[in-house]
Amino acid sequence: MTDDHETDRSDGSPAESVPDSSPSQGADPDCGSDTSAGTRHGRVDRHPTPGRRNSLAFWTDAKHPLRVAFNYVFVWLARIAPSLRLRRWFLRRIGVTVAPGVSWGLEATPDVFWPELISLEEDAIVGYDATLLCHEFLQDEYRTGAVVVGKRAMIGAGAIVLPGVEIGADARVAANSLVTRDVPPGTTVAGVPARPMGGDDASDSSNEENTDDQ
C-alpha cells in the first residue's frame, strides 16, 4: 500500500454546467454577492433540474448509481479505518487529492457524490465527524463546487464545509461550525454560520478542538 496519489474520475461526471456569476436563487444569505471577498458561489457550478420535480429526484442523471455506491463503500471504510494511512488510501481510491501528512479523523465524511472535488493539502487536519460537501441538491437545480483545505489548516470536530469553500493555510475552523464562505489563511472561524474570532477566543477554540488523530 502506497501514499502515491491516485484518482478515478472515469465516469459519472456532472452534466453540462453554467458557472454561477451572479447571486443565485436559494443562495446562503450569509454569502452576499459573488464578487464580494470571501464568498464561495463564484466557484460553484449550477446544473438545472431536468424535470418538474426537485433536483434530488433526478440524482441518477447527475451521477451514475454504481459510482455513488462505489464511493459510499470507500467513504464508510475511510470513516472507521483504524489508521491514518488506511484512511488516506481509501480517500485516494475515490478521487480525493490527499497530500503528504494529512490527518483524517474518525467518522469524518467526504462528499459521496463528488469526492474528486476535494483537495487536502500538506499536514491538513479534518477532525472527528467533520463533513466536506461538494454538492447541494436544491428545488430547481443542483450545484457542485470544489472544497480546498489548505496546508496545515485544521477543521474541528463536527464542522460542516459547504461546496466551493477554500480553507486557507494555517486557518482553523472551530468544532460544530458551518463554513459558508472562504476562510483566509491564518484565520480562526467559529459558529453557524462561521465568523472570524478574536485573538483570545481563537486560542481557546484551537485548544478545545477534538481532531481525533489516531
Q: Which domains does the chain carry?
A: 60-208 (2.160.10.10)
Q: Which residues contact 83 (CB under 8 A, 6 or more apart)?
A: none
Indicate the pLDDT class of residue 198, thresholds 50, 70 and 90: confident
| SS3 call for 66 | helix
* Type of residue found at 155: I
| Nearest by Cα to 18 from 41, 52, 36, 51 | 41
The count of other CB atoms within 10 Å of the CB of residue 30 is: 14
Long-range pairs of 151-154 with CB within 8 A, sequence gap ≥ 24: 151/99, 151/121, 151/122, 151/123, 151/124, 152/122, 152/123, 152/124, 153/121, 153/124, 153/125, 153/183, 154/124, 154/125, 154/127, 154/206, 154/209, 154/211
For residues 132-146, average pLDDT = 94
Q: What is the pLDDT of residue 43?
A: 84
Q: How far is CA 84 from the centre of its chain?
A: 18
Q: What is the pLDDT of residue 38?
A: 56
Task: Give pLDDT tens digits for 62-73.
Answer: 999 999 999 999
Q: What is the pLDDT of residue 8?
A: 42
Distance CA 95, CA 36 (A): 31
Indicate the pLDDT class of residue 39, thresholds 50, 70 and 90: low
Placement of cell 420535480 in the chain:
53
For residues 152-159, average pLDDT = 98
| Nearest by Cα to 209 from 129, 114, 101, 123 | 129
193 preceded by a cis bond (ω within 30 of 0) = yes
| SS3 call for 204 | helix
Between residues 2 and 81, the one the model is more confident about: 81
As a whole-number percent, the residues of the chain with pLDDT over 70 amount to 73
Indicate the pLDDT class of residue 51, thresholds 50, 70 and 90: confident
**Do 41 and 21 form a contact (C-beta atoms < 8 A)?**
no
All cell numbers assigned to 106:
474518525
- Average of per-residue pLDDT values in the chain: 82
